[in-house]
Amino acid sequence: MNAFPFTQKAYSCLQLFQKRHLFYVLLLLPATVTLLQGCKNMLDFSPYEIRVVDGDKNTTLKNLIDVENSILNPDSITIALTADPHYNYNNLQKVVSSINSNYQIDFAMCLGDISESGIQTEFELFHAEMDKLVVPYLTAIGNHDYRSNGEDIYYQMFGQLNYSFKAGFLRIIVFDDIFWESNKNPDFDWLESELKQYEGELLAVASHIPPDTDQFDSVSREQYYKLMEKYQVKYSFHGHQHSFNLKEKDGTLYVNTGAIMKGKYTLITIYKNSETKIKEITV
């Protein structure tokens, strides 16, 4: 006679439950795996994710090597000056095709707002499209690129936010001049040290925000204008305004390019004697 009938019955029930449980676990396993994969895919779209693949890193450095190797001793330099694709990948594609069909262009620049919200997917879409260019391209950071973790993604994908390079007889100093979204003042000391170092060369400064607009207060604006005048900077290239504009001040030509998102960019040809031809292109 079983002295523990209740215990034995309970044990049998437990065994039955475990078998059924195992059956349900096995039944639900594929669904659980699919669900977890789905969660992982959802996490891929986190606005705070930073996972730039190796092939997309150090883009500025790679393109600078191309500029150095391809622009040796030219009589003129032609730049496709672009900015502000934001989220319009259709027009970005058209601008890339337009640049590729013009064999006079030596290199392209995209002066910021290469993303709308600073999320990695936007940077990747931009990078994939710009990869199709047959000429090298350089970028400046825009105010929209600072959103979310955009600054870190930009740094990983492109490199330094302030840098300068030589394209034939032209020295271009790329300057991060975002005040509001970066929560810091642009590094004017760095800008002046670069200008001092390359004083006497044909100089251009390229940045997202033109000095005569919103983010510059009157003190910073004067500071910028004085630096341009003091070091006889010939060109000051900008985006952000989404419209083409030319202005001359104290010997510096301020060129604001129209926005890629509106199907616009600017062609600039600079000759050795610093004669300049500028034309807005619509795609």
| Interface with Zn ion (CB under 5 A) | 113, 142-143, 240
- For 183-207, b/e burial (b = at least 16 CB within 10 A) is eeebeeebbeebbeebeeebbbbbb
* In the complex, minimum distance from the CB of residue 117 to Zn ion, in angstroms, rounded to a whole number: 13
Return d(Cα 89, Cα 95) in angstroms, integer: 10
Residues 6+ apart with CB under 8 A from 91: 85, 260, 261, 262, 263, 283
Residue closer to Zn ion (CB basis): 133 or 141: 141
Residue closer to Zn ion (CB basis): 171 or 208: 208
Residue closer to Zn ion (CB basis): 109 or 170: 109
Contact, 68 vs 98, CB < 8 A? no
* In the complex, minimum distance from the CB of residue 46 to Zn ion, in angstroms, rounded to a whole number: 24
* In the complex, minimum distance from the CB of residue 257 to Zn ion, in angstroms, rounded to a whole number: 12
* In the complex, minimum distance from the CB of residue 259 to Zn ion, in angstroms, rounded to a whole number: 9
* In the complex, minimum distance from the CB of residue 86 to Zn ion, in angstroms, rounded to a whole number: 9
Contact, 127 vs 96, CB < 8 A? no
Residue closer to Zn ion (CB basis): 127 or 238: 238
Q: Which amino acid is at 14?
A: L
Residue closer to Zn ion (CB basis): 136 or 150: 150
Return d(Cα 29, Cα 153) in angstroms, integer: 36
Residue closer to Zn ion (CB basis): 86 or 234: 86
* In the complex, minimum distance from the CB of residue 97 to Zn ion, in angstroms, rounded to a whole number: 24
* In the complex, minimum distance from the CB of residue 145 to Zn ion, in angstroms, rounded to a whole number: 9
Residue closer to Zn ion (CB basis): 142 or 168: 142
